[in-house]
Amino acid sequence: RAVENRDMPPWSGDSDNHEWSNDISLTDSEIEKIVDWAKTGAPQGDPADLPEAPTFPKGWKLGEPDFVVTLDSIEVPAEGDDLFPQQVVEVDLGEPRWIRAIEFLPEDSRVTHHFLTTYATRMGEGGPAYTGVLGIWTAGMPPYVFPDGVGRRFGSKIRIIVDQHYHPIGEATRDASRIGLHFGEGELQKEVITIPVTNTGLRIPPGAGHHAENAHYLFDKDVQILAFSPHMHVRGKAMTYVVTYPDGSTETLLDVPKYDYNWQWLYYPTKPVDIPAGSRLDVTAVWDNSEDNPANPDPTKEIIYRGDTFSEMFNGFIEVTQKEGVLFEQQNQREQILDLLALHPAKDSYVSGGFMGFHVPREGEGWLYMGGIYSIVLDDFEWQGDELRITTQFPTLNASATTTVIEGRLNEQGQLVGTVTIGTDTDQPQRVPLFAAPVGDPAAASAGP
């Protein structure tokens, strides 16, 4: 039955025009052959024709790495809240390197929910710092393996920041995870970066069996997508990546109709996916918060974006290279925000420097953009005359979110002046001044909190 229903092997990933190099699904003829064999009583063939039993190594899947980053041991109690430790590791590679593959190896995968690893490095003494995502590991995810000549580049010294997430399982244990780096040989031909297409503003009603949210990203240059990595939690049901090209045509790059938190994949297309400048990527996630979802711990709860296992996340990760040249040149964040705001009418759209921008119409749905990668739907905001109040969820450095309140009043120039209170759900909220200029206002160039 599991084979006939395509529950086994555990693969869910379709596309309009692309195939996957790591596709483990069965063809229709293979399924038919297995089902027919089972219906006839599953007779045994000639034992002499049996292949050797496969072996599943407990250690590194890619073999011994060239460099191993060993994290401090974390004690995980039997009971209690989820743990979110952060570790900062100073790494000395001896010389500038580029990395062709990355593997995460938890010591106790039973309690390890995810790692989010970012980095900072300098390519030369006194040169500018480069930052980015080293890699993400979640339950069931395979190692990162990039095509020949493609990888992440680092100076001789790296600061690696590891945000970890552990979930108690009723038994006290410990975890000292490791990160394995495999060096590339020769000259780097293409730098690859991770882009997280994320919406921290999700709000899933109690009992909702099919609740959808959207996040989007704009490409300012010609790129190639090397891999896709959808991430939600136990209520996750489906995710799709749809690109709208500059001519208005659309294509479904990846459709995951049967998302399974226990089997999270990096989807590698057999050929890189060409995305021209001016394209828009829409990622749609669907959750099942109903009692019909056997993995749902509590269908009576409203669910918002948080990092713990039984809340929810919405990350449509992509691995991307720039079409021309070797290095990936990041667009200025303020330009990214203005491009995203241009998706909406200029009226009721404001920009706050390179920090954020938001579209808050007097009626209808609003959007808030941060850093060009966070597109946060706004469903809790209100205008009262010239006063605006927004309650939303800002992303945090530990791959979670925190409740944030934005309050402002329009001045005579039509600019919003007020306060951003970050972390109203914490013991130590932070308040920063808000100055947001309407899109098109010359003051928008210097507007900021």
Please report, for the domain that includes residue 118, its CATH number.
Answer: 2.60.120.230
End-to-end CA distance of the chain: give it in Å, rounded.
Answer: 57
Residue 385 has pLDDT above 80, yes or no: yes
Strand partners, 293: none
Q: Residue 77's pLDDT is what?
A: 96
For residues 177 and 220, state if they share a domain.
no
For residues 296 and 354, state if they share a domain.
no
Residue 447 has pLDDT above 60, yes or no: no
For residues 264 and 338, state if they share a domain.
no
| Domain membership flag for residue 12 | no
**pLDDT tens by residue, 220-256:** 999 999 999 999 999 999 999 999 999 999 999 999 9
The alpha-carbon radius of gyration of the chain (Å, integer) is 23
Strand partners, 144: 102
Q: Residue 398's pLDDT is what?
A: 72
Domain housing 143: 67-188
Q: Residue 444's pLDDT is what?
A: 55
pTM, two decimals, is 0.87
Residue 79 has pLDDT above 90, yes or no: yes
Backbone angles phi, psi at 112, to 5 degrees: -85, 115
Number of domains comprising the chain: 3
Chosen domain end from 296, 322, 348: 322
Chosen domain end from 166, 188, 210: 188
CA separation for the pair 432, 381 (Å, rounded)? 19
Chosen domain end from 303, 322, 341: 322
| Domain membership flag for residue 3 | no
Looking at every residue in the chain, the average pLDDT score rounds to 92
**pLDDT tens by residue, 181-206:** 999 999 999 999 989 999 999 999 99
Find out whether 170 and 132 touch, Cβ atoms under 8 Å.
no
